[in-house]
Every structure is written in C-alpha cells, then in structure tokens.
Structure 1
C-alpha cells in the first residue's frame, strides 16, 4: 500500500476488525509519523523492515494478535533503533511470548502496564540500567517461566505477591539494589529450579519456606546482609546442586541431610564440598578504607597497569598478603557491567591457569576486585621487553599449554561456555614459577547472555609467541593460504631468530616451530566450523612438547 501513498503522514486504522498480516509495503510510506493499527485482529509479526519509517513518532500496535518470538523480536527492535524520532511504541495485549532485551542501555522503570502482556512466558531485561522498584503488576503474570532482571539498579523490597508465580522456573534478580527481607511467600514458587538474589541489599533471615521449593537446583543468596541461622528446612531440597550463601552474616550449622550428592556449597570453607574453593579467611568482607590503605592512597609507585575500565595496583592487606587490586573507574561507560561480569566469571572458576579472585569491595561509588598477585608481570613484558626474555623455547611452549588449558576450561569445563574476547599477551600473567594465568575478564561473554550476538568459542587465537615482533597477525590475515602452502619455507622468516641460535638443538627447535605454527594455522582457517577444537589444541600441544623433549634429550 505504501507504493501508492508515498506522501502519507498519518494513518489511523485503530478500532476496526482488520485481520491478516501487516503488509511489508507499508514501510514505503516513508513520510509517516503516526501509525495506529491498534484494536484490530492483525496476526503474524511486525515487518522487520519497520525501521524504514525513519520519521515515525507514534507507533501503536496494541490489542491485536501479533506474535513476537526471539530472535525475530530482536531484529524488529534493532530495526526500530533507526527511528530516532520515535516517542511512543505500544505493543500491549498481543501474543508476546518471549521478550529478551538484555545487554542494551535501557533506562527508567519497568512500566506498570506490563501485566497486559498476558501471553508472556519469558522476560529477560538483564544487563540494562533500569531503576525504581519492580512493579507489583509483574507478579500478576503468573504464567511466566523465566524472569531475568539481573544487573540493573532496581531497588525497593520484594513483593509478597512473588509467591503467586507458581509455574516460574528461573528467577534472577541478582546484581541490583533490592532491600528488605526475603518474603515468606517465596515458598509459593513450587516449580522454581534456579533462584538468584545475589549482590543485593537484602537483610533479615532466610525464611524457612525456602525449604518448600522442592524443585530447586540452584540457590544463590550471596553478597547480601542476611543474618540469623541457616534454616534446617534446606535439608528438604533434595534436588539442590548449587548453594551459595557466602558474604553474609549467617550463623549455625549447614544442613546435615538432603542436598543433592553432586551439590556444592560455594565460596565458603565452612560450606564447601569443593576442594578447589578458597578458604573462608580470604573471602572476608573488605572495606573501602582498607583497600585505600593497602595501595597507600593510590600511590603511583604501586600502579601495575591501566585497563579500559580502571587501574590495577599492587597492595598489601592487613594480614600481610600481597595482592593486585583492580579499582574500577565508574565514570567510564560499561564499568559497572564489566565489574559484574568479572565477578560472575571469577567467583565460580577453579583452575590453576586462571587468575583467582580473593574478595571484592562493592559500594555505590567504589568498586574494586582483590586478585591474586602475579610477581612476574604479564607475557607481553617478556616477549617484547629488552630487559626480559623468554630465551627457552620450552618455556614458551609451556606457557602456550597453560593458556590453551585455561581456554579449554572456559569453553568446555564451566557450567556455561565463557568467551574471554580479549586474549592477548598483556592479559596473560606469570606467577613465580612462570606459569601462565589468564586475567582481565571485564569484557568476557557468558554464552547464555550473548546468544543473540555473534559470540563464538571458535575465534582467532593470539599468535605472537614465536615472533620477534607483532606483525604475524597481519601476515596471516593477508596471505594465510600462501603460508599454509609453503609453511616449512616461510616459518623461519617470521620467527624470532634468537630461538634458533643454539646449533645443537636447531633441528628439534625447527620441528617444534613448524608443528606449533601449523597448529596455529589450523586455528585460523577461514571458516570457524573448520577450525580445530580447543580440546584437540591442548592434546596436540602436549604431543608437540613431548616430541620436543624427546628430541633435545636424545641428541
């Protein structure tokens, strides 16, 4: 229809009995600034090209039979982002089943009219900048299966009506500023499997009605101000696999019965069944003032480095422990999100080759992570500094294996895949034994949150380890196929000549280099699905190392 009405500015067809689909051609009426199709019987979905109506100011599609399914819904909202004059969008009373708007910069409050979305089953508004309290009307959507409002700035108490959500499976309200007590009516969540209220300002006791959540598999109440004793009713939770009550003021004994055999009491030695968990002493609360003392008031002599979201200082805690303290610059866009992502990743990982988090300080105007200190700095210093040198090929190979092992754990060994997204020599730290540890997870992606984007575990690897300069990456990108065809001839032209200076081990080192570079090229083939899996990378590296050790010992 837009073909015949190119100059139409207002189209109001609301309150009729129109049916069928909204025609794609409507976007050709490019001068429209008001479009009202509400209170009809339009079905199917909105044209994904709706964003071509660049001048649209008011778009009303309420009270129809429109359906909205992710990921098409995200395409629609992405298209609407081109409509810079849009001030009103109404979609209420349609057949909206799933609404996922996580990871945007939405601000303001959740509208009270949300209860008009009666067909909604999945609501994900996490990782935004939403404020105010959760509207009471949300708890009237009793058919919801998933509610994720995590990583916002929502405040106020939890409503007693939360217990009405008796079919809800996942509720994540973590990383907000919710206050007050956990309502006793929470026991009404009879089908809840995952419940997280972590990183809020909840106080009071854990209600005994939590023991009525018989389907519960994950319960995270960490980083609050809960006190009194841990209720005995938790013994009834026979399906519980993960319980995190750390960083509270709780007392008493842990449940002696119930609690699934595969479960873990996270991040507290008193509660832990995980031998890799850190001792309770290292997870004590730490104040802003103590951290400032530890780094001597931001003394420049203690500065270890600067990142995108803040500064890292060397500090000494009151008990004498030397640590690295990452202080976030909260004026930088994305700093809040990076802090929460890094906490989420580091607090649950247990591997030697990943930098450990010791504790955190999280106030409204100050956020810092206290991390394990690495005395030998970062890999970049050893690769490109005139004062330091990784002069042994075996040492470089060992660090590569450390890095590959860590990536394998992140991609395959964690509850959900984690993509680091910024793996480079400056983010590989070396301990006193020159063991490589991957650090800096502030832009990492947990694939559960990043599924709408192009995040993958099959990215290009770093490739600076055996070159004397930082140019191999561009060489590979420009002439990858040529290098693959003539690997044995070209590899010696790009590697650091110092690695082949020992004539006695020349043949062994050359073979090791050829094998390593060949593996690197398998990791960067044009099509991600053709790249070698990280588990095979680790196995191949270990074979290369064994062959190298055999060759140099047999000379």
Structure 2
C-alpha cells in the first residue's frame, strides 16, 4: 500500500473496508511517527505481524481485529512502551506454550485494553500475567485454547473492570486473589473446567454486575454473601455441580435481571424471597432437585419474560398468583410432581407463547382462552386427568352433576355392579371360545403389555397394507421393511415387518419389544402393538405423515428453515435426554441418524428404530457389543472397541446436528477430513462457508444474527463430537443450550 510510505503519518484508520494484502515487513521504518494504527475488519488482511513494528515507538493504539493474520504474536510488541490499546481478536495468531508475548507486554506500563479473543494461542497463562500494567481495565482472551490453572497473581490487576477467559481449557479452582479485583464489573470464566467451590472472595467484588461461571465443574454451595453484591444484574451459574439451597439473601439483589442456575444438583424449596427480584426478565432453575411448592410470591415478578422450572421435584399446585406475571412469554413447569388444576386466571397472560406442564399430576379442565388458543397439545401430555377441548388431545370434561340426588348415584352404582357381575363369566366364555377357534389360525397379535391400545390380527394387517404390497412400502432397513396401512377405523399405521431370513432380525425384534415396552415420551415413535409367530414378526407403529428428516434434508421438493431444523433437533435431544436420564435404566439408542428421525403431521420429531439399542444395568456406565451401527455416525470408542455408553448417542447426535445445518453427509468426505473437522476449521468467522446454502442467503434480513445463531448451534454440535467421551456434553445440558439458542433465534 502506497499509504505506508508517508513517514509523517500519525494516524491510519482503514477499518471495515474492502482491502486486501499484508502488513509491510519494514512497517517500523516507513511509519516511525505513527501513533494510532487501526486496520480491523478488512476483507483479506493476511500474513504476520512484522517484528519491525517495535520501531513504531510512538504507537498508542494498535487495532488489527477481525482479520486473517497468522503466525506468532511477536515479543517485540513489548518495545511499544506507549501502547494503551492492543486489539488482536478474531485472527489466527499463535504463541509459544508459555505465552511469552504476554511477558514482553509487562513493559507496556500504559496498557489499558488487551483483546486476544478467538486466537489459537494454545498455551498456559504465566504467573507474570499479574505484572501487566496496573492501568489495565479490560482483558478478553476467550476461546484461545488457553490451558492450565488461572495464576494467583491475576489478583494484582486491581484496575480491571472486565475479565473474560471463557471458552478455554482452564482447570483447578478459581484463585481467592480474585477478591482483590474490587473494581471488576464483568467476570466471565464460563465454558472451562474449573472445579472446587465458589468462595466468599467473590463477595468482595462490590462493583460486580455480571458473573458468567456456567459450563464448569464447580461444586458445593452458593455463598450466602452473594446477596450482598447489590450491583449484580446477571448471574450465570448453569451446568455445574452446585448442590445447595438458593440462599434467601439472593432476594436482596433488586437490580438482578438474569438468574441462571440450571443443570446443577441444587435442592430444597424455592425461597419466598425470590419474589423480591422485581426487575428480573429471565430465570432458569431447570434440571435441579428443587422440591416442595412454588412460592406464591413468584407472582410479583411482573417483568419476568422467561421462567423455566422443568425437571425438578416441585409439588403442590400452580399458584394462582402466577397470573400476575404479565410479562411472561415462556413458562416451563414440565417433568415435576405438580398437582391440582391449571388456574383459569392464566388466560390473562397475553404475551405467553410457550406454556409446558407435561409430565406432572395435573387434572381438571385446560383453559381455552387467551394464550391457550395457540398452545400445542404436547404441552399437556402425561398428566393425571386433564380434560377439555379436543384440540388438546384430551377427553371432554364431564358435565356438572351437582343436582343429581344421592339415590340416583346409588342406583347407577348398583346397575354397574350387576352388569359387571354378569359380564365377567360371559367374557370368560367368549375368550375361551375365541381361543379354541384361533388356536388353528396361522398368526395372531402378541401384545406389548404396557403400550397396547388395541389388538390387531395378522389378517387385519394384510388387509390394511394391501397384502404388504409394494405400493404401500414406505421404507426399508437392515432388518426388514416398513409399510403404510389404514385400519378399518380409518387410522393410519406403519407396519414394520422383520426379515426373518436374517438371524439378526429375530434379535432386533426382541430388542425393540423389550425396550419399547416401558418407554413413553412425546418424541419417541409410539408402538401400538406387535404381531408375532414363528413365520412372521411385525411391529405396528404410529404413522408419521411427513416421513423422515433425511427426506427433508436431501429431497429437492422439501425445505426446512433454521427454526424448523432447530425445533426438530431439540425434539430429538429431548428424546435422548429421556432415554439417558428419564428411564429407570438408561437406554442407549446406538443408531441416531436422520433416517431414524420421523416427523408427524405437525412436524414434531419422533426418534425411531430401537433394533440395536442397549439397556444399561444399574451402576453400569458402558458395555461391549459386536453390533455395528451406521458408519459416519459411530463414536470412535464404539467403532474401534465395541464400547457403547450414552456418550455414543451424544456423539451421533452431534454429527447429525452438524449434518442438519450443513446438509453434508458424514460419509461423503475423503481422506483424513471428516464433517466435524470441516466445520471446526470454518468457525466462527467462515460459518457461511459451511452452512447449507439454501438456509441463508447474503441478501436475507438479519443475516449476521442468524449466522451467529447457526454458529452457536454448530459449537454445541462440536462439543457433542469430542473424541474423548468424558469431554462430551450430556443430553440434559444440550437440551438447555439449544432451547436458549431457540430464544435467541426468535429475536432475530
């Protein structure tokens, strides 16, 4: 660039322009008087940072963020003694294992900002980090592959306002010297591997506005003094191993906007003081062990838009006071032990878009006014005795019987008893005759005891499927074929007929029967019955009108947008979460892939095909098998050693999540390159290069925000695909992360 030959220049700002090239090797000699050099966000600035930059001795501001610079960060930066602002974030810059460039920066005594975010530094923070400028107010080094411990000397940087070391591989406990950073306002250590307790040292940070400690392995209790940091506005402690009550002192945080304690092991009652958090807009207490009733004081949170209490052990009724939470848009109370009725007063919540009370003990009428007009029936399943409108897939509520006399009631009971006494012997005779008659029939339905809704004979199956004709064939797999059928009642069914010429098909049939006997979840394909004898074995399944996810991804006649794809993958994640964590014995599916994800008429996803699934015994973390699943989706330990665990499903899910948003099959790559590597090389800057070209276009509205959402989804997928099973995220956390991303997507 000719501009670099003007030796008298003191300031250059070419940021955010369509410029290409590299920094001149002799930049220090041709710009000896430069004081401010800002070259961030250029189209194609490549190459290295020249060592000669140390000759720009008057430089106070150096901004090179958002480029494609590579190579080592030069130690010669330490000669820029007037440097105040150093921004190298979002490049491909590296360092040696001891991050020696940081040591050189000790000489920059006026440094106030240091940003290294998203560079693969791959080193250990030296203890001398604590000797950096005492004027330093902001340090961001997130997603830099920094490892080792956080040095105790970090507490010497007493002017720090902003410290972000998230998304690294830091281990050990958080040093108590952090308590010396009395001016700290934002503290982010999320997505690391910190262990140990959150100590009282945190309470010395009386200027703290935001704590981000989620996705670590922190344990123990929340410090009671946390409620004394009245400046706190955001607390993110989700996905740790915290095991205490919520301290009532948290109610003192009257400026708190976000409270996230999800996916921990927290216990006890929700404190009444939670009702003091009047300005809170988001509260996630899901995936814990909270018990007893929801406090009525929660109704005072009129600004709360998001409340998740799912997967706890809460009891009692839904407080009528929740109808005062006029700002609510999202309310999830699913998977608890909540009883009683759904208060009709909740119809007043005009902004409510998501209300899930499935898997509880509720009864009575489901309200039908206000926001309930648009809610899915799936939000009310698996309760005790809910009734109401047919669109909720519940029986109608019985009419009032207040005016019936006791005499009439006794008469009805007497008549029913008489009928029952007469019916039992008659039924016995009919069944005996039918048994004698059918004993000679070639085939007969063999029920799956706990999930049958009706018995269907072999002849009815033939009639329903046009004698298993090819025109009714809707799919084939390793162990048989699936046919569409229509019963005489008009009910559509899918009939999975096993190929008994294959020995493995017998085992596959028995496995599916054993596994599906005790499972029930909205995102698993429902089995109606089975039909079995020596010559014929079939499962009768609920028909999925929209076919498989694979069809929607790879057929030109179908299209799924970002929101639909994310919703489908959340459905599958919920199914796996149930299999791994919600059953008496964990179930490993072993063959998670798009062709085994089926879509009903409402585009709700259902996981199918349990033919090679495994049941883990009590206290059994993994087991060995010789059964091989589908290539491309198999976890390394499964393919190499035959070792399967729930983490194998997590790996397969991660691959499928990548496939869903890239529309690239995992088995179409050659050589050492694979789908997960291809994606990881492109994140986060080049997400546009890997995302399905049909999904987002350069002219689309809010393209940048939507690409950021897709990048977040792919980061979750890559966490699932870690080589080591121990480093893979569990399905509980995956569900939580994807649901939060879905909320972000809704805001795009």
TM (norm. structure 2) is 0.38
Point out the structure with max Rg over C-alpha.
2
